[in-house]
């Protein structure tokens, strides 16, 4: 276990500094092109790709250094280049990003100039329809559902009376045995594929637990609610909470949800004990995963989701609506010791 954790730490830290090195090379390349006044980034296909890579490496490099506002100024410049046609990339995925993560308070913090803001404003006005997947394959309706994150304490779960509990890893055995409702484990592809034997054992032992995953396996179901996640550019993707929120809205109609145990990784304790025994990639520098997933895409996705869906409440919902400056400060405080120092 110790050797495995060390391996993850070395691998992710190497990738972080590799990203920063690539960005520095691209900075020199951009300087040369501008210096020659060729405007070649917009004319030559190879340099178009270099420009796209430049924006992506700029975002990641500043993210890994915890210069978050500068990182996201590059992310939104990259988005702008796609929606204006300056860069040939997936326009629909860029639209998804803006649809799900646009927040005026956050945009004010990253200080886009007036021209950039006006381009985004016009794009949003002319593309204001958000497609929603059908909700005809639901599990239940008019029920009470707990969405329990990795920090949830199942000792207090008896204080509530829920019909369903949604989790991303199996809860403690003693809780599964006592819970009178149904438990749905909505888990990622890697964990589902790696834990077929455990999943089978739990399903055979308890009659109140089911496993859902995008991975199509013998032991997991893969409903449309999981396969209809919005896709985003830059390799960005929503994380466990956001995937669970997306699925919950489609699986349960006219229902009431409590969301607890997710703190948007704003504390040094990432998991409770019940979750830790099934966690993967322990030991890696968390900034690698948070940057590549796109932390504020997921955070703002949640913030906007809870504003639009008022039938969700709980500590996690309250945290998602906190002041953004406070969230930025807490994130930097928690991960200061993990940041890149070059």
What one-character-per-residue DSSP string does 31-86 give? HHHHHTT--GGGT-HHHHHHHHHHHHHHHHHHHHTT-HHHHHHHHHHHHHHHHTTS
Last residue of one domain, picked from the residues 68, 103, 126: 126
Give residue 85's region: left, alpha or beta (phi > 0; psi -120 to 50): left
Residue 147 and residue 160: Cα distance in Å, rounded?
12
Give every CB contact of residue 324 below 8 A, 6+ residues apart in sequence.
103, 105, 106, 109
Q: Are residues 195 and 272 in the same domain?
A: yes
Q: Are residues 115 and 231 in the same domain?
A: no
Helix orientation angle between 45-64 and 286-293, rounded to the nearest 10 degrees? 130
Q: Are residues 208 and 305 in the same domain?
A: yes
Burial of 268 (0-12, 13-18, 19+ CB in 10 A): exposed
Q: Are residues 101 and 162 in the same domain?
A: no
pTM for the full model?
A: 0.91
Q: Are residues 146 and 82 in the same domain?
A: no
Residue 100 forms part of a structural domain: yes
Residue 11 forms part of a structural domain: yes
Domains held by the chain: number: 2
Q: Are residues 49 and 72 in the same domain?
A: yes
Residue 322 forms part of a structural domain: yes
Q: Are residues 182 and 210 in the same domain?
A: yes
Last residue of one domain, picked from the residues 61, 96, 126: 126
Q: Are residues 114 and 196 in the same domain?
A: no
Residue 183 forms part of a structural domain: yes
pLDDT tens, residue order, the chain (342 aa): 455 556 767 888 888 888 988 888 888 776 655 444 445 555 567 677 778 888 999 999 999 999 999 999 999 999 999 999 888 888 999 999 999 999 999 999 998 899 999 999 999 988 876 666 767 789 999 999 999 999 999 887 655 689 999 999 999 999 999 999 999 999 988 899 999 999 999 999 999 999 999 888 899 998 888 878 889 999 999 999 999 999 999 999 999 999 999 999 999 888 888 888 887 666 678 899 999 999 999 999 999 999 999 999 999 999 999 999 999 999 999 999 989 876
Residue 149 forms part of a structural domain: yes
Last residue of one domain, picked from the residues 81, 103, 126: 126
Token pair in block for residue 46: 């190879």
Q: Are residues 181 and 313 in the same domain?
A: yes
For the chain, the C-alpha Rg in angstroms (whole number) is 21
Structural domain boundaries, residue 22: 2-126
CA distances from 26 to 9, 29, 146, 177, 204 (A): 26, 5, 47, 56, 55
Token pair in block for residue 47: 């340099």
For residues 154 and 274, is the Cβ–Cβ distance under 8 A? yes
Residue 134 forms part of a structural domain: no
Q: Are residues 157 and 207 in the same domain?
A: yes
Q: Are residues 305 and 164 in the same domain?
A: yes
Strands 144-148 and 256-260: parallel
Q: Are residues 10 and 58 in the same domain?
A: yes
């Amino acid at each position: 276990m110790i050797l495995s954790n060390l391996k993850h730490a070395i691998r992710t830290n190497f990738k972080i500094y590799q990203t920063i090195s690539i960005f520095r090379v691209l900075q020199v390349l951009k300087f040369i092109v501008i210096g020659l006044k060729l405007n070649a980034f917009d004319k030559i296909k190879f340099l178009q790709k270099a420009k796209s890579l430049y924006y992506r490496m700029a975002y990641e490099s500043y993210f890994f250094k915890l210069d978050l506002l500068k990182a996201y100024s590059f992310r939104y410049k990259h988005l702008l280049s796609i929606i204006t046609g300056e860069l040939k990339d997936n326009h629909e995925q860029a639209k998804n990003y803006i649809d799900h993560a646009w927040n005026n308070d956050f945009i004010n913090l990253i200080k886009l100039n007036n021209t950039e803001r006006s381009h985004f404003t016009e794009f949003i006005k002319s593309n204001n329809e958000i497609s929603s997947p059908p909700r005809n394959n639901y599990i239940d309706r008019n029920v009470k559902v707990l969405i329990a994150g990795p920090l949830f304490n199942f000792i207090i779960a008896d204080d509530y009376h829920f019909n369903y509990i949604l989790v991303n890893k199996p809860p403690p055995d003693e809780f599964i045995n006592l819970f009178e409702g149904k438990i749905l484990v909505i888990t990622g592809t890697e964990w589902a594929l790696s834990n077929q034997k455990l999943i089978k054992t739990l399903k055979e032992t308890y009659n109140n637990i089911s496993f859902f995953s995008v991975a199509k396996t013998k032991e997991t179901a893969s409903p449309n609610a999981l396969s209809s996640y919005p896709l985003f550019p830059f390799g960005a993707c929503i994380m466990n909470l956001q995937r669970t929120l997306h699925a919950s809205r489609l699986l349960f109609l006219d229902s009431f949800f409590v969301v607890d145990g997710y703190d948007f990784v704003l504390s040094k304790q990432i998991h409770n004990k019940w979750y830790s025994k099934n966690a993967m990639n322990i030991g890696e520098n968390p900034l690698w995963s948070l940057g590549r997933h796109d932390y504020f895409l997921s955070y703002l996705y949640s913030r906007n989701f809870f504003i639009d869906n008022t039938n969700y409440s709980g500590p996690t919902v309250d945290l998602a609506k906190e002041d953004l400056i406070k969230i930025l400060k807490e994130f930097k405080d928690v991960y200061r010791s993990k940041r890149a120092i070059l």
